[in-house]
């Protein structure tokens, strides 16, 4: 499925499940990830509507020369939610995609039923100038970043990024929030950051996957689903 956001064509996968009385889910992949990598969630989240979005510069979405600010990315989510007529979805996000989902939730506070943060801070991270070249050398699940995103898009994300602290704003979330973190060395949400989440958002649910790293699911998808499914099922 494709839709337009101010002249940028945005792609998504949609399982097309009709209204079954349970909230739809919007999946937001992380930096350099595509919707296709998360296609397995289309059938693994029960009998509910699932839409997986390629934000700009990723997957089958357009990769403009510029337009990679935080607002541009969560604007892509808004365009797709509107186009697919999704009624107050639950957002399931991963890594940097979490800041895009948080941006959407803050801009549309009454249009979200729940939020899953995939091993990330309550912040939109401002990236250093050297991030672009360093990121292009990263290999994720056997695929170099240079094959996952056009170089100009990677550099655009870095160039147009800015630090946006969200720790003081997450209290605005009046819906359930789950933070999933990994127990291996590559995980971003340490014990200290988990405590920061609890202090910033009383009532947040934090779950540790001991055998996962920052990549929460590829080592053991069933362990990830065992945490995600019950959270989704509790939200009506």
Residue 74's pLDDT band (cuts 50, 70, 90): very high
With a cut of 90, say whether residue 46 has pLDDT above it: no
Q: Which residues pair with 2 in a beta bridge?
A: 11
Q: Which CATH number belongs to the domain containing residue 177 in this structure?
A: 3.40.50.1820
With a cut of 90, say whether residue 229 has pLDDT above it: yes
- pLDDT, tens digit, 9 for 90 and up, residues 83-142: 999 999 999 999 999 999 999 999 999 999 999 999 999 999 999 989 999 999 999 999
3-state secondary structure of 154: helix
Residue 88 confidence (pLDDT)? 97
Contacting residues for 170 by C-beta, under 8 A, at least 6 apart: 102, 122, 177, 200, 201, 204
- Domain total in the chain: 1
Q: In the chain, at which residue ranges do the beta strands (DSSP E only) sit?
A: 2-5, 8-14, 25-28, 50-54, 90-93, 114-118, 123-124, 139-140, 143-144, 164-165, 177-182, 205-209
Q: What's the rounded Cα separation, in Å, for the pair 38 and 65?
A: 26
With a cut of 90, say whether residue 200 has pLDDT above it: yes
- The chain-wide mean pLDDT, for the chain, equals 97
With a cut of 90, say whether residue 20 has pLDDT above it: no
- pTM for the structure as a whole: 0.97
With a cut of 90, say whether residue 24 has pLDDT above it: yes
Residue 26 confidence (pLDDT)? 98
| Domain containing residue 22 | 2-233
Residue 19 confidence (pLDDT)? 80
Residue 69 confidence (pLDDT)? 98
């Amino acid at each position: 499925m494709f839709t337009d956001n101010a002249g940028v064509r945005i792609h998504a996968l949609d399982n097309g499940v009709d209204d079954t009385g349970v909230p739809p889910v919007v999946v937001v992949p992380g930096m350099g990830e595509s919707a296709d990598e998360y296609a397995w969630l289309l059938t693994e989240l029960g009998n509910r509507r699932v839409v997986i979005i390629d934000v700009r510069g990723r997957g089958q979405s357009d990769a403009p020369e510029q337009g990679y600010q935080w607002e541009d990315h969560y604007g892509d989510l808004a365009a797709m939610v509107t186009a697919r007529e999704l009624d107050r979805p639950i957002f399931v996000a991963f890594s940097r995609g979490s800041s895009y989902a948080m941006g959407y939730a803050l801009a549309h506070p009454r249009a979200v039923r729940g939020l899953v943060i995939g091993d990330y801070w309550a912040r939109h991270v401002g990236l250093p100038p050297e991030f672009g070249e360093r990121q292009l050398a990263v290999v994720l699940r056997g695929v170099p970043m240079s094959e996952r995103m056009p170089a100009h898009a990677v550099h655009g994300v870095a160039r147009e990024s800015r630090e946006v602290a969200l720790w003081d704003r997450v209290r605005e979330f009046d819906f359930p929030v789950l933070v999933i973190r990994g127990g291996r060395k590559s995980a971003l949400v340490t014990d200290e950051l988990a405590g920061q989440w609890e202090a910033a958002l009383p009532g947040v649910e934090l779950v540790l996957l001991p055998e996962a790293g920052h990549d929460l699911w590829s080592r053991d998808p069933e362990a990830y689903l065992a945490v995600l499914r019950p959270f989704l099922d509790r939200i009506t």
